[in-house]
Structure 1
Amino acid sequence: MRSTRVSAEAFDETLKKELNGTNKVFVLFFGTELPETDESWCPDCVIADPLVRKALLPVENSVLIEAAVGSRAEWRNASSNPYRSRTDFTIPAIPTLYKWTTSGAGERLVEEECADIEKLNAFVNSA
Protein backbone atom coordinates (compact mmCIF):
# COMPACT_ATOMS: atom_id res chain seq x y z
CA MET A 1 0.00 0.00 0.00
CA ARG A 2 1.08 3.50 -0.81
CA SER A 3 -0.54 6.58 0.68
CA THR A 4 -0.73 10.16 -0.48
CA ARG A 5 -2.23 13.18 1.23
CA VAL A 6 -4.25 15.59 -0.89
CA SER A 7 -5.78 19.01 -0.51
CA ALA A 8 -9.32 19.64 -1.69
CA GLU A 9 -7.86 21.65 -4.59
CA ALA A 10 -5.69 18.73 -5.77
CA PHE A 11 -8.29 16.02 -5.11
CA ASP A 12 -9.58 15.48 -8.66
CA GLU A 13 -6.13 15.70 -10.25
CA THR A 14 -4.69 13.18 -7.78
CA LEU A 15 -7.58 10.77 -8.34
CA LYS A 16 -7.16 10.97 -12.09
CA LYS A 17 -3.44 10.26 -11.77
CA GLU A 18 -3.89 7.33 -9.39
CA LEU A 19 -6.69 5.75 -11.42
CA ASN A 20 -4.46 5.52 -14.49
CA GLY A 21 -3.12 2.00 -14.25
CA THR A 22 -3.80 -1.01 -12.12
CA ASN A 23 -4.08 0.75 -8.77
CA LYS A 24 -6.83 -0.13 -6.32
CA VAL A 25 -7.75 3.32 -5.05
CA PHE A 26 -9.23 3.99 -1.63
CA VAL A 27 -10.07 7.45 -0.31
CA LEU A 28 -10.25 8.17 3.40
CA PHE A 29 -12.01 11.37 4.48
CA PHE A 30 -11.13 12.37 8.03
CA GLY A 31 -10.93 15.33 10.38
CA THR A 32 -7.77 17.41 10.11
CA GLU A 33 -5.16 16.89 12.82
CA LEU A 34 -4.90 19.31 15.72
CA PRO A 35 -1.46 20.97 15.89
CA GLU A 36 -1.13 20.33 19.62
CA THR A 37 -1.70 16.55 19.37
CA ASP A 38 -1.01 15.65 15.73
CA GLU A 39 -4.23 13.63 15.91
CA SER A 40 -7.56 14.30 14.26
CA TRP A 41 -10.14 16.29 16.19
CA CYS A 42 -12.52 13.43 15.33
CA PRO A 43 -12.24 10.58 17.87
CA ASP A 44 -13.69 8.03 15.41
CA CYS A 45 -11.01 9.03 12.88
CA VAL A 46 -8.24 8.48 15.44
CA ILE A 47 -9.53 4.96 16.07
CA ALA A 48 -10.12 4.07 12.41
CA ASP A 49 -6.90 5.41 10.87
CA PRO A 50 -4.46 2.69 12.00
CA LEU A 51 -7.03 -0.04 11.33
CA VAL A 52 -7.62 1.18 7.77
CA ARG A 53 -3.89 1.30 7.11
CA LYS A 54 -3.35 -2.18 8.55
CA ALA A 55 -6.18 -3.61 6.43
CA LEU A 56 -4.84 -2.01 3.23
CA LEU A 57 -1.19 -2.88 3.81
CA PRO A 58 -1.33 -6.36 2.22
CA VAL A 59 -3.56 -5.28 -0.71
CA GLU A 60 -1.40 -5.32 -3.83
CA ASN A 61 -1.26 -2.11 -5.88
CA SER A 62 -3.42 -0.26 -3.36
CA VAL A 63 -3.30 3.49 -2.95
CA LEU A 64 -4.79 5.30 0.02
CA ILE A 65 -5.68 8.90 -0.74
CA GLU A 66 -5.91 10.81 2.53
CA ALA A 67 -8.37 13.70 2.33
CA ALA A 68 -8.56 15.87 5.44
CA VAL A 69 -11.93 17.64 5.58
CA GLY A 70 -10.76 20.52 7.77
CA SER A 71 -11.31 21.60 11.34
CA ARG A 72 -14.49 20.77 13.25
CA ALA A 73 -15.92 24.20 12.36
CA GLU A 74 -14.99 23.81 8.67
CA TRP A 75 -16.57 20.35 8.59
CA ARG A 76 -19.80 21.49 10.22
CA ASN A 77 -20.19 24.41 7.80
CA ALA A 78 -21.39 22.17 4.99
CA SER A 79 -22.13 24.96 2.53
CA SER A 80 -18.51 26.10 2.39
CA ASN A 81 -16.70 22.79 2.93
CA PRO A 82 -15.14 21.83 -0.42
CA TYR A 83 -15.89 18.13 0.07
CA ARG A 84 -19.41 18.41 1.48
CA SER A 85 -20.52 20.72 -1.31
CA ARG A 86 -19.64 18.17 -4.01
CA THR A 87 -22.47 16.62 -5.98
CA ASP A 88 -20.61 13.59 -7.39
CA PHE A 89 -20.26 11.90 -3.98
CA THR A 90 -21.37 12.43 -0.39
CA ILE A 91 -19.64 12.21 2.95
CA PRO A 92 -22.39 11.57 5.49
CA ALA A 93 -19.96 11.48 8.43
CA ILE A 94 -16.29 11.03 9.12
CA PRO A 95 -14.36 8.92 8.82
CA THR A 96 -15.61 7.74 5.44
CA LEU A 97 -13.61 5.25 3.38
CA TYR A 98 -14.48 4.91 -0.30
CA LYS A 99 -13.40 2.52 -3.02
CA TRP A 100 -12.83 4.64 -6.10
CA THR A 101 -12.87 3.54 -9.73
CA THR A 102 -12.75 5.29 -13.07
CA SER A 103 -16.56 5.46 -12.77
CA GLY A 104 -16.26 7.46 -9.55
CA ALA A 105 -16.99 6.83 -5.91
CA GLY A 106 -18.12 3.30 -5.22
CA GLU A 107 -18.78 1.35 -2.06
CA ARG A 108 -18.04 3.03 1.24
CA LEU A 109 -17.68 2.47 4.95
CA VAL A 110 -18.84 5.24 7.28
CA GLU A 111 -17.94 6.13 10.87
CA GLU A 112 -17.77 3.09 13.13
CA GLU A 113 -17.79 0.76 10.09
CA CYS A 114 -14.24 1.97 9.39
CA ALA A 115 -13.16 0.52 12.75
CA ASP A 116 -15.06 -2.77 12.43
CA ILE A 117 -12.25 -5.18 11.57
CA GLU A 118 -14.50 -7.76 9.91
CA LYS A 119 -16.31 -5.19 7.74
CA LEU A 120 -13.06 -3.42 6.94
CA ASN A 121 -11.26 -6.59 5.85
CA ALA A 122 -14.22 -7.74 3.74
CA PHE A 123 -14.40 -4.27 2.16
CA VAL A 124 -10.74 -4.02 1.16
CA ASN A 125 -10.48 -7.65 0.05
CA SER A 126 -13.43 -7.34 -2.32
CA ALA A 127 -11.61 -4.62 -4.26
Structure 2
Amino acid sequence: MERKQELYENLIENYKQFPCLWDIKCEGYKNRVLKDEAYENLLPIYQKIDPNANLECLKKKINSMRTSFRRELCKVRNSKKKTGSAPEDVHTPTLWYYDLFHFLIEDESGREGIDNIDFELENMVSIVVAT
Protein backbone atom coordinates (compact mmCIF):
# COMPACT_ATOMS: atom_id res chain seq x y z
CA MET A 1 0.00 0.00 0.00
CA GLU A 2 1.20 3.49 -0.85
CA ARG A 3 2.17 5.88 1.90
CA LYS A 4 -0.52 8.42 2.75
CA GLN A 5 1.69 11.31 1.65
CA GLU A 6 2.17 9.69 -1.77
CA LEU A 7 -1.59 9.31 -2.09
CA TYR A 8 -2.08 13.00 -1.32
CA GLU A 9 0.64 13.90 -3.82
CA ASN A 10 -1.24 11.86 -6.42
CA LEU A 11 -4.48 13.64 -5.53
CA ILE A 12 -2.86 17.08 -5.91
CA GLU A 13 -1.21 16.14 -9.21
CA ASN A 14 -4.55 14.95 -10.55
CA TYR A 15 -6.32 18.05 -9.22
CA LYS A 16 -3.81 20.11 -11.18
CA GLN A 17 -5.01 18.39 -14.38
CA PHE A 18 -8.47 19.96 -13.95
CA PRO A 19 -7.98 23.73 -14.34
CA CYS A 20 -11.76 24.14 -14.38
CA LEU A 21 -11.56 23.59 -10.60
CA TRP A 22 -8.92 26.20 -9.81
CA ASP A 23 -8.11 28.51 -12.76
CA ILE A 24 -10.56 31.40 -12.96
CA LYS A 25 -9.31 32.13 -16.51
CA CYS A 26 -10.27 28.65 -17.70
CA GLU A 27 -13.38 28.54 -19.90
CA GLY A 28 -14.72 25.60 -17.92
CA TYR A 29 -14.33 27.37 -14.57
CA LYS A 30 -17.96 28.51 -14.64
CA ASN A 31 -19.26 25.23 -16.04
CA ARG A 32 -20.89 23.37 -13.15
CA VAL A 33 -21.27 20.12 -15.14
CA LEU A 34 -17.60 20.10 -16.11
CA LYS A 35 -16.55 20.79 -12.53
CA ASP A 36 -18.79 18.01 -11.21
CA GLU A 37 -17.23 15.60 -13.71
CA ALA A 38 -13.76 16.65 -12.59
CA TYR A 39 -14.61 16.00 -8.94
CA GLU A 40 -16.11 12.63 -9.91
CA ASN A 41 -12.76 11.75 -11.51
CA LEU A 42 -10.87 12.79 -8.37
CA LEU A 43 -13.13 10.95 -5.93
CA PRO A 44 -11.70 7.42 -6.50
CA ILE A 45 -8.22 8.84 -5.95
CA TYR A 46 -9.28 10.42 -2.65
CA GLN A 47 -11.11 7.25 -1.63
CA LYS A 48 -7.73 5.49 -1.51
CA ILE A 49 -7.00 7.82 1.42
CA ASP A 50 -10.51 7.84 2.91
CA PRO A 51 -12.57 4.87 1.66
CA ASN A 52 -15.80 6.35 3.06
CA ALA A 53 -15.36 9.74 1.37
CA ASN A 54 -18.00 11.29 -0.82
CA LEU A 55 -17.86 14.35 -3.10
CA GLU A 56 -18.54 16.73 -0.23
CA CYS A 57 -15.62 15.30 1.78
CA LEU A 58 -13.34 15.61 -1.24
CA LYS A 59 -14.29 19.24 -1.84
CA LYS A 60 -13.79 20.12 1.81
CA LYS A 61 -10.38 18.43 1.88
CA ILE A 62 -9.17 20.20 -1.25
CA ASN A 63 -10.42 23.55 0.01
CA SER A 64 -8.75 22.94 3.36
CA MET A 65 -5.43 22.15 1.69
CA ARG A 66 -5.71 25.21 -0.55
CA THR A 67 -6.45 27.40 2.45
CA SER A 68 -3.39 26.08 4.27
CA PHE A 69 -1.31 26.68 1.16
CA ARG A 70 -2.55 30.28 0.84
CA ARG A 71 -1.85 30.91 4.52
CA GLU A 72 1.76 29.79 4.06
CA LEU A 73 2.04 31.80 0.85
CA CYS A 74 0.93 34.94 2.69
CA LYS A 75 3.55 34.32 5.38
CA VAL A 76 6.24 34.02 2.73
CA ARG A 77 5.09 37.16 0.90
CA ASN A 78 4.73 39.19 4.08
CA SER A 79 8.20 38.21 5.25
CA LYS A 80 9.64 39.28 1.87
CA LYS A 81 7.93 42.68 2.15
CA LYS A 82 9.78 43.63 5.31
CA THR A 83 12.22 46.36 4.40
CA GLY A 84 15.78 45.25 4.63
CA SER A 85 14.88 41.62 5.25
CA ALA A 86 17.72 39.26 4.49
CA PRO A 87 17.08 36.06 2.50
CA GLU A 88 17.42 34.03 5.70
CA ASP A 89 14.61 36.12 7.23
CA VAL A 90 12.12 35.01 4.59
CA HIS A 91 9.57 32.59 6.02
CA THR A 92 10.28 28.97 5.19
CA PRO A 93 7.01 27.10 4.62
CA THR A 94 6.49 24.11 6.89
CA LEU A 95 3.59 22.70 4.89
CA TRP A 96 4.88 19.52 3.24
CA TYR A 97 2.72 20.01 0.13
CA TYR A 98 3.45 23.74 -0.27
CA ASP A 99 5.49 23.29 -3.45
CA LEU A 100 2.89 20.96 -4.98
CA PHE A 101 0.31 23.77 -5.00
CA HIS A 102 2.54 26.31 -6.73
CA PHE A 103 0.55 25.85 -9.92
CA LEU A 104 -2.14 27.97 -8.25
CA ILE A 105 0.13 31.02 -8.43
CA GLU A 106 2.01 30.39 -11.70
CA ASP A 107 0.02 32.98 -13.62
CA GLU A 108 0.43 35.59 -10.95
CA SER A 109 3.63 37.00 -12.42
CA GLY A 110 1.49 38.78 -15.00
CA ARG A 111 -0.72 40.31 -12.34
CA GLU A 112 1.47 43.10 -11.07
CA GLY A 113 -0.15 45.60 -8.78
CA ILE A 114 -2.43 43.12 -7.05
CA ASP A 115 -2.15 43.31 -3.29
CA ASN A 116 -2.58 40.55 -0.74
CA ILE A 117 -6.10 41.59 0.20
CA ASP A 118 -7.29 41.45 -3.41
CA PHE A 119 -5.47 38.15 -3.92
CA GLU A 120 -7.05 36.61 -0.81
CA LEU A 121 -10.53 37.88 -1.68
CA GLU A 122 -10.22 36.55 -5.22
CA ASN A 123 -9.22 33.13 -3.96
CA MET A 124 -11.93 33.11 -1.30
CA VAL A 125 -14.47 33.73 -4.05
CA SER A 126 -12.90 30.87 -6.05
CA ILE A 127 -13.40 28.50 -3.14
CA VAL A 128 -17.02 29.52 -2.59
CA VAL A 129 -17.79 29.16 -6.31
CA ALA A 130 -16.01 25.80 -6.47
CA THR A 131 -18.13 24.24 -3.73
- Structure showing greater radius of gyration is 2
User: Considering the TM-score relative to the shorter chain, is it more than 0.5?
Assistant: no
Q: Which has the higher contact order (CA 8 A, sep 6+)?
A: 1
TM-score computed with the length of structure 1 as normaliser: 0.29
Q: In proportion to residue count, which structure has more helix?
A: 2
